[in-house]
């Protein structure tokens, strides 16, 4: 657990000790705003700036994939005006960050159910997906209207349909087959899961994929999360022993 206040610095971790895939639960936007005596939406605005900073740093140091929990399937319970602003912010992010993604060779990916996302927002999402599809650097995956249980349910439905149609036999079902039918098909599993704002739960996020992820929690709210904090998480990860259920040799 960390509450680092040290300044940003160069990351001194060998490439082979860095995580390939970092997943982040970006928590604390509203609480940060309230502490500043600001409207909650200001927290979301500041959080979007943090997304840019951390995404660019991932591209700079060669992190292969960054997956961010932007909007959970449970977040629709929030006040209508806040949800409307989040959709506006998402649309603006897609427009404003295209240049940054192209300059940093970042490829965008989006996971989650699309049904409740407004059509105009989906249009901007698709533009960014198409524009960055040929990029070969860091993959930025945004989890939008995402829920881990819903993802597993959707994968189960797809597999069941293939069994019923005769395309698959029940005996064909394996961990690899399930992974291939998740939203994250083709991605590596997260090596490092970061959660901000001090909460000690995973909140229905990447339930299948984080089975062996290393967890790192900081008291810092997402809007104040800095490169120095990100570096500290990676350094801590690099010093851990990952046994995947086995023993050290």
Residue 48, both tokens: 């979007």
Contact yes or no for 138/59 (Cβ under 8 A)? yes
DSSP state of 218: B
Whether 6 and 220 have beta carbons less than 8 Å apart is answered as no
> How many Cβ atoms are within 10 Å of 53's Cβ, its own excluded?
14
Sequence-distant (6+) residues with CB within 8 A of 214 are 19, 191, 192, 193, 237, 240, 242
Helix (H) or strand (E) holding 21: strand 21-25
- The string of DSSP codes covering 203-216 is TT-STTTTTTPEEE
**Known active-site residue 27:** yes
Strands (E), 62-213: 65-72, 107-111, 139-146, 192-195
- Active-site entry in 8, 12, 29, 75: 75
Burial class for 136, CB neighbours closer than 10 Å (0-12, 13-18, 19+): exposed
Q: Which of 21, 57, 27 is nearest to 230 (CA)?
A: 57
Active-site annotation holds for 105: no
What is the SS3 assignment for 74? coil
3-state secondary structure of 65: strand
Mind telling me the catalytic residues? 27, 75
């Amino acid at each position: 657990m960390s509450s680092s206040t040290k300044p940003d610095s160069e990351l001194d971790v060998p490439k082979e000790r860095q995580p390939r895939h970092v997943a982040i639960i970006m928590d604390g936007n509203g609480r940060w705003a309230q502490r500043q005596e600001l409207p909650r939406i200001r927290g979301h605005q500041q959080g979007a700036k943090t997304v840019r900073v951390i995404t660019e740093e991932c591209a700079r140091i060669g992190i292969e994939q960054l997956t961010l929990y932007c909007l959970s399937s449970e977040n629709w319970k929030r006040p209508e005006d806040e949800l409307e602003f989040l959709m506006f912010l998402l649309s603006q992010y897609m427009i404003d960050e295209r240049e940054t993604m192209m300059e940093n060779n970042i490829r965008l990916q989006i996971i989650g159910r699309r049904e409740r996302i407004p059509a105009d927002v989906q249009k901007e999402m698709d533009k960014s997906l198409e524009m960055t599809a040929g990029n070969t650097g860091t993959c930025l995956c945004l989890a939008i209207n995402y829920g881990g249980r819903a993802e597993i349910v959707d994968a189960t439905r797809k597999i069941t349909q293939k069994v019923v149609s005769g395309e698959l036999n029940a005996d064909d079902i394996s961990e690899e087959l399930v992974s291939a039918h998740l939203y994250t098909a083709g991605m590596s599993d997260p090596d490092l899961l970061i959660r901000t704002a001090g909460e000690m739960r995973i909140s229905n996020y990447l339930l299948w994929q984080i089975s062996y992820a290393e967890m790192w929690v900081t008291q810092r709210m997402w809007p104040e999360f800095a490169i120095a904090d990100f570096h500290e998480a990676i350094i801590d990860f690099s010093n851990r022993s990952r046994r995947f259920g086995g023993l050290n040799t």
